[in-house]
A and B are shown apart, each in its own frame.
Chain A
Amino acid sequence: MLRFLLRRLALTIPTFVALMFVTFVAIRLVPGDPVEVRVGERGISPERLAQFRHELGLDQPVWKQFFDYMWQLLHGDFGTSLATNQKVLTEFVALFPATIELAAAAMLFAVAIGLPAGTIAAARRGSFYDQALMGMSVTGYSMPIFWWGLLLIMFVGERWGLTPVSGRIDLIKYYFEPVTGFMTVDAWLSGQPGALKDALHHLVLPAIVLGTIPLAVIARMTRSSMLEVLGEDYVRTARAKGLPSWRVVGLHSLRNALIPVVTIIGLQIGALMAGAVLTETIFSWPGVGKWLIESIARRDYPALQGGVMLISTIVILVNLGVDLTYGLINPRIRHA
């Protein structure tokens, strides 16, 4: 196990170095001189310009700049935003809980519906329900979620007036200092009547939108994994013993069918981050996805660079975690 762990960790290091290299090169390919962008169009004296270049380390050879960049990253310095002059990491950390909250709610929605839906479809293979569910799954998987979000805003939010359509809470009615950064938790902690309900109300639509694709993937994966397990001998034995169908499906089979499903759920994290960019933009959800898009609009390249670096790092680490957990529960993987 230790060998598996070490090997898997060692494989991650080159990925990180390459990631640093890519973000480093990307930012240098951006048209326009970073110093000139910073000083604006008025221009300054050549001495001041040279001093600026020196401060930013731009008078150094490129390889040295890269190593400096790596050095900074390893010390947790992800650059400084041009727009706000704040550390990118500080901004990111402040906004990230909003994204986690949204992603967690989306995943909860996807698993809570996808698992039972896929299980029932497998148990009633070929039925109308099965076919309908698989049809919906293809639709969900193919969904342009930015449009899906607008559609839900249009109907659920505007026409039927069931939910609010932007933000995380009604800021006019409720105000409290953030404690954890998770709006639902903070609203609950604040003890203000109705605050938690309002926060949940704001969360519903974005969570559904972001959860749609994972829902389709999970339902489909659960179905095919269940079908495989339902053909196993021990399932037949269980049936032959006269166990009720729900026990055979719900206990004997589901537990074994879950292993690939859990992996898929873990690997959805990257897709969730990509989806969060769109979902947050549509619902004005103040998370890192919306912030990333806004930093492009503001030509705030250090923020973009740092943001991409941070998001990718998180996804790599989560994927690593999934891999290791999988190796832990499935010996065949770690000896491969």
Chain B
Amino acid sequence: MLEVEPSAAGPKPQAALAPDPVPPMPPSPVHAFWHAFRENRGAVIGLVVVMGVVLLALFADVIAPYPPNEQFRDAVRAAPAWADGGSMRFILGTDSLGRDMLSRLIHGARISLFIGLSVMGVSFVIGGLLGLACVSFTGALGQMIDVAITRVMDLIMAVPSLVLAILVVAVLGPNLTNTIVAVTIVYLPRYVRLLRAAALAELGKDYVTAARVAGVGPARLMFVSVLPNCLAPLIVQAALGVSDAILEAAALGFLGLGAQPPTAEWGTMLADAREFIRSNPWLVTLPGLAILVTVVSINLAGDGLRDALDPKMRRS
């Protein structure tokens, strides 16, 4: 294996040294991927930060110094540790109800990631299935299915994302679950269109014809032959989709249409803090910073993922 060669060996001299009985193995896909990913410094930094946020979210109960909704009535809107009047008791200060900001931010990571991942998972599966359904069926029925699905997706794309999400939430009622539903609907078309286009391109290739000739059934053809070859762009979209979902959900929370108080959701926390923008600026600064850092990191890592997975899409 190439990866065990000492780095001092330089660019593979051993191939020229002796007639190799076994030709050098191509690097495993995982290794090749990591090698390409590692080249992009921003992506690695992004990935590290994302992992940090994931760890915070997973172990929120252990890491956070206090429960997110515990109110300390003796320390309402306490300043953060570095400011005048701050103490180490509440490192990032407390909010208007005396809740520890640090603990709420840590628990907020859990909620934001939960939203992001749920939206991603559901849209990945439903979007993928719908995208495949567009191209799977033949004849008039198949065309009808294709047209119907594409038209609906066009419609969803035509309505500005936040406006559509607002409409959905207004109808279903504002809470965490409906936020996920709304954001999923908004981002579904991207997955459908992506997979539809990728599958269409694949269907014209020789191996598909060969599989058909070999008597492979339609379901097996789609899921076993075609789908794996369409996954690269879909995975990239899914990674970047997590950050979009987090942003959209935070925006809904900020408008009062997302997770409801006292849930420690970053956007909702920002909305609560708006009136203290003059007196206690950190109440506004910190949740937004948490959103920004998380979203930037996911986007950086997602860009790296795209460059590594699909050299064709690599930004020049």
A contact set with B: CB distance below 8 Å: 14-15, 18-19, 22-23, 26-27, 29-31, 135, 138-139, 141-144, 146-148, 150-151, 153-154, 158, 224, 227-228, 270-271, 273-275, 277-278, 281, 292-293, 296-297, 301, 304, 308, 311-312, 315-316, 319
Contact indicator B278/A158 (Cβ below 8 Å): yes
Q: Which residues from A are CB-within-8-Å of B151? A: 14-15, 18
B159 near A: Cβ within 8 Å? yes
Q: Which residues from B are CB-within-8-Å of A281? A: 255
Interface 1/0s, chain B 186-224, versus A by CB < 8 A? 000000000000000000000000000000000000000
Contact indicator B284/A154 (Cβ below 8 Å): yes
Contact of B316 among A26, A228, A319 (CB under 8 A): A228
CA–CA, A278 and B250, complex, Å? 11
B173 near A: Cβ within 8 Å? yes
Chain B's nearest CB lies how many Å from the CB of A335?
Answer: 19
Q: Which residues from A are CB-within-8-Å of B167? A: 23, 26, 304, 308
Residue of B nearest to A307 (CB): B163
Interface centre among A18, A142, A148, A293 (most CB of B within 10 A): A142
Interface 1/0s, chain B 299-316, versus A by CB < 8 A? 110010000000000011
Known contacts A22-B155, A139-B292, A144-B288; decide if A271 and B255 are in contact (CB<8 Å): no
Chain A's nearest CB lies how many Å from the CB of B148?
Answer: 9
Interface of chain B, main secondary structure? helix
B contact set with A: CB distance below 8 Å: 42, 151-152, 154-155, 157-164, 166-168, 170-173, 243, 247, 250-251, 254-257, 267, 270, 274, 277-278, 281, 284-285, 287-289, 291-292, 295-296, 299-300, 303, 315-316
CA–CA, A31 and B170, complex, Å? 10
Interface centre among A141, A293, A296, A315 (most CB of B within 10 A): A296
Contact indicator B287/A315 (Cβ below 8 Å): no
Chain B's nearest CB lies how many Å from the CB of A16?
Answer: 9
Contact of A154 among B172, B243, B277, B291 (CB under 8 A): B277
CA–CA, A276 and B284, complex, Å? 20
Interface of chain A, main secondary structure? helix
Known contacts A311-B163, A319-B158; decide if A227 and B316 are in contact (CB<8 Å): yes
Q: Which residues from A are CB-within-8-Å of B300? A: 138
Chain A's nearest CB lies how many Å from the CB of B309?
Answer: 18
Q: Which residues from A are CB-within-8-Å of B257? A: 296
Q: Which residues from B are CB-within-8-Å of A297? A: 256
Contact of B154 among A15, A29, A292, A304 (CB under 8 A): A15
CA–CA, A144 and B112, complex, Å? 13
